Amino acid sequence: MRLKGKVALIAGAGSSGPGMGIGRATSILFAQEGAKVVCADINEEAAKETLRMVRERGGEGIVVQGDFTRSEDARRIVETAVSTYGKLDILHNVVGIATPFGILETSEEDWDAVVTTNLKSIFLMSKYTVPHMIRGGGGVIINTSSAAGLTGHPSANYSATKAAIINLTRSMAIELAEHRIRVNCIAPGFLDTPMVAPIMTEERRRILEWMIPLGRLGTAWDAAYGALYLASDEASYVTGITLVIDGGLLAGRGIGPAKPPGGMV
Ligand SMILES: NC(=O)c1ccc[n+]([C@@H]2O[C@H](COP(=O)([O-])OP(=O)(O)OC[C@H]3O[C@@H](n4cnc5c(N)ncnc54)[C@H](O)[C@@H]3O)[C@@H](O)[C@H]2O)c1
């Protein structure tokens, strides 16, 4: 019960397909650890499925539908959370989208959609949440970057926003420290989630497993446990950091594991 008595807003609590996305796994885990979870998502059905899983395991929460890139929705989601549970202790900005292309193939519309969804959503959700955290004497914000924010990546707009999230996190951390609000981000590597399922061929999986020193793709639970640590009081002296959860991918980038399988290099 590492989050007993806390209220957590999970912004992106659904999942872009059947199965376990990061927001879904985190909602379940936070609820199991004693938090009341506010499951917010643009996809109401996906958020309802998350809440069903939360309740199935004895947890408590509500669903709020909305688009985090729209100011009025972001404000309404936060106000609903506070009017339901009286306070807000944790905000986890999970939402993120990607287009698979570099700058030559990316349309202006796609560029704007990725930048707005990945960056502006954090700005808006945090802007409306922070006053309630200040009133409550403190809080925790966890943003979601990516290993793609720490290195170049074929999806230029995705990579650029995920790098920006790391510095947005640092800037928010120093701005909000005086209010006892800690701000950190997680940077997952390759996770086996519904978001990547459409591009995951067997060949691609084999190459990734070779590139990742721990020899496997991660799961949404790996990210959720990282967020749980940052959300808990165990991390009370931790702010402004990027917690990389990548099976060693970035540590071994370009070289791969110590002993690549025959025929691969
Ligand atoms: N899956 C991975 O391998 C991986 C790796 C690194 C980083 N990440 C990051 O983790 C986060 C979650 O990834 P996931 O795989 O669980 O994704 P996901 O697509 O399964 O979940 C994202 C959720 O956000 C919701 N959403 C999208 N746009 C929205 C909007 N404008 N307003 C409200 N809700 C919106 C979707 O409906 C979906 O339920 C993303 O930020 C992603 O970039 C994922």
Query: Using one digit for the tens of pLDDT, what is the confidence trace for 199-212?
Result: 899 999 998 998 89
Q: Is residue 53 part of a domain?
A: yes
Chain mean pLDDT for the chain: 95
Q: CB-based burial of residue 120 (10 Å sphere; 0-12 exposed, 13-18 middle, 19+ buried)?
A: middle
Q: Which residues contact 143 (CB under 8 A, 6 or more apart)?
A: 93, 122, 165, 168, 169, 183, 184, 185, 186
| Residue 255 confidence (pLDDT) above 70 | no
Structural domain contains residue 258: no
CATH code of the domain containing 54: 3.40.50.720
Residue 11 has pLDDT above 70, yes or no: yes
**pLDDT (0 to 100) of residue 254:** 63
Tally of domains within the chain = 1
Check residue 221 and give its pLDDT: 98
Write the residue with the smallest CA distance to atom 41 of ligand 1: 96
- Enter the DSSP assignment of 20: -
| d(C-alpha 128, C-alpha 113), whole Å | 21
Phi and psi at residue 36, to the nearest 5°: -85, 130
Residue 265's SS3 state is coil
Region 85-91 average pLDDT: 98
Q: Is residue 145 part of a domain?
A: yes
Does residue 262 belong to any structural domain of this protein? Answer: no
pLDDT tens, position by position, 34-71? 999 999 999 999 999 999 999 999 999 999 999 999 99
Whether the CB of 67 sits within 6 Å of ligand 1: yes
Residue 261 — very low, low, confident or very high, per pLDDT cuts 50/70/90?
A: low
The confidence band for 265, taking pLDDT boundaries of 50, 70 and 90, is: very low
- In the DSSP assignment, the letter for residue 14 is S
Give the amino acid at 33. Answer: E
Cα(232) to ligand 1 centroid in Å equals: 22
Cβ of 186 below 6 Å from ligand 1: no
Specify if 254 maps to a domain: no
Catalytic residue at 158?
yes
Q: Which residues contact 265 (CB under 8 A, 6 or more apart)?
A: 256
Q: pLDDT digit string (tens) for 149-195?
A: 999 999 999 999 999 999 999 999 999 999 999 999 999 999 999 98
State the CB neighbour count (10 A cutoff) for residue 264: 10
pTM of the model: 0.96
Domain contains 251? no
The response to whether residue 226 sits with its C-beta less than 6 Å from ligand 1 reads no
The pLDDT tens digits of the residues spanning 213-250 come to: 999 999 999 999 999 999 999 999 999 999 999 999 99
Distance 256 CA to ligand 1 centre (A): 27
At 195 the pLDDT is 86
Distance CA 247, CA 38 (A): 30
Give residue-wise pLDDT tens across range 126-151: 999 999 999 999 999 999 999 999 99
Residue 14 domain boundaries: 7-245
